[in-house]
A = this chain, B = another copy of it.
């Protein structure tokens, strides 16, 4: 039994101390900061690697012993067979009730695979999904799936819509989030046959569904949740990341061209910092694997301490809000209106596909 070491009550967050490009140093720094902000944390990994760094950082956070992390390029099949990897041991702590959520900046495919293997799917959900936040005019927009499911059935898109809606409600405090399907045109007739059929189904459900949106509209903040297959979601997210990087790169080049540009650029540093901050993934920390029975927060492999701290705070909040249970309730919602419930269950497993 791990005794809680924070102020957050009895919840404990298991942190994969070995996963990520900057593990263990940045992971430990992030965990220490989250702990200082009141969250109980347990580190999972090889004591001989973690302990010296922890000592350097003057911290006594508890360590649960595991073997090395799953490598970033390790095939998932292989990774799932390693019973003592830091990620697997961390997931096991949640299964045994010793922890209440896992945070990892490790191999994303393995993170999803282990979440599924250890905890199984929520009833009514066929596949786990990853989401990600994109910065839009009005604030962050949640896009899912962004890579777990390269191809999808219409019913998967409907399931993503329900899960995304609950997650944005809990994590952003948005009441009744506006949902939209990502497509190559706003008309209901636009998109792949999966998008068209999901559109038709979502129109019949009691969700705040706006219809189809195009890539540019995502950034106008037209919706709070953007639903798509993992292939196009990944392209949207990575493409946006690429554009942001290139524009800031051009700005850097332009602002060092001559003395006047340098002076003007220096005066604008706070403005650029504010903009950069709005488009910075580290602010969001990480995103959960949606659809499984417990909470697993996946951080960018490149995460530094700030992202890890934010991910741990998020994990703690999602554990407090009981994210998986809330998704389950949304799926099985019994408002006394049996026909609505039947409609939703049918929509989640469309028979005609």
Contacts and interface: CB of A to CB of B under 8 A. Distances in A.
Question: Helix, strand, loop or mixed for chain A's interface?
Answer: helix
A268 to B, nearest CB: 5
Interface string A220-259: 1000000000111011111111111111011100110100
B275 A267 contact: no
A124 interface: no
Interface stretch (A92-100, A209-217, A303-311): A209-217
| Interface size bracket, A side | 35 or more
Contact of A150 (B191, B244, B247, B278): B191
Contact of A215 (B237, B257, B264): B237
A219 B135 CA distance: 18
Contact of A242 (B215, B251, B261): B215
Contacts of A237: 215
- Integer count of this chain's copies in the complex: 2
A147 B290 CA distance: 30
A278 B219 CA distance: 20
B242 A216 contact: yes
A254 B270 CA distance: 9
Given A234-B215, A261-B268, A136 B246 contact: yes
A6 to B, nearest CB: 36
Contact of A239 (B147, B183, B216, B257): B216
Interface in A32-82: none
A244 to B, nearest CB: 6
Contact of A241 (B191, B215, B242): B215
A157 interface: no
Given A215-B239, A232-B232, A247-B247, 19 more contacts: A136-B246, A150-B184, A150-B192, A182-B235, A183-B231, A184-B235, A215-B235, A215-B237, A216-B242, A217-B238, A218-B239, A235-B236, A235-B239, A236-B239, A250-B275, A254-B275, A261-B267, A261-B271, A264-B264
25 contacts: A135-B246, A183-B231, A184-B230, A184-B231, A184-B234, A215-B235, A215-B236, A215-B238, A215-B242, A216-B239, A217-B242, A218-B239, A220-B245, A232-B235, A235-B235, A235-B239, A239-B239, A240-B243, A243-B243, A243-B247, A250-B278, A251-B271, A254-B272, A260-B267, A264-B265
Interface of A: 135-137, 147, 150-151, 182-184, 190-193, 214-220, 230-232, 234-247, 249-251, 254-255, 257, 260-261, 263-265, 267-268, 271-272, 274-275, 278-279
Ordered nearest first, which 6 A-B pairs have the shortest CB separation? Answer: A215-B238, A216-B242, A215-B239, A219-B242, A254-B271, A184-B234
